[in-house]
Amino acid sequence: MRGLPLLVAAAAIAFGGNIARAETPAEAEFGGDCVMGLALGKDIETDCSVSTVYKGKTYCFGNETARTLFLKRPNDFLLQAHVYYPSRQATEQ
């Protein structure tokens, strides 16, 4: 059952689709990309219309389901996002 939340998160993000990037708040972490997408190894741009502030930092999401799932285990998902994000940046250069 431990993998079920990630499976549900992956499905929610996959069906949430990509949202064209609009004005992303300058203070948004990960350049405004969906933190749940990053946690699952996916690049999902957002317009930050769905976001939350956690420990003083703004995180954006592709949809409300991703935000809800993040808030259940934010530290776990942030760890995964922080592992994936630098590797993604290295391939963009």
Closest CA to 53 of 74, 33, 82: 74
The pLDDT tens digits along the chain (93 residues) read 455 455 555 555 544 444 333 456 778 999 999 999 999 999 999 999 999 999 999 999 999 999 999 999 999 999 999 999 998 766 665
Helix (H) or strand (E) holding 89: helix 74-92
Domain that holds residue 87: 4-92
SS3 73: coil
State how many domains the chain has. Answer: 1
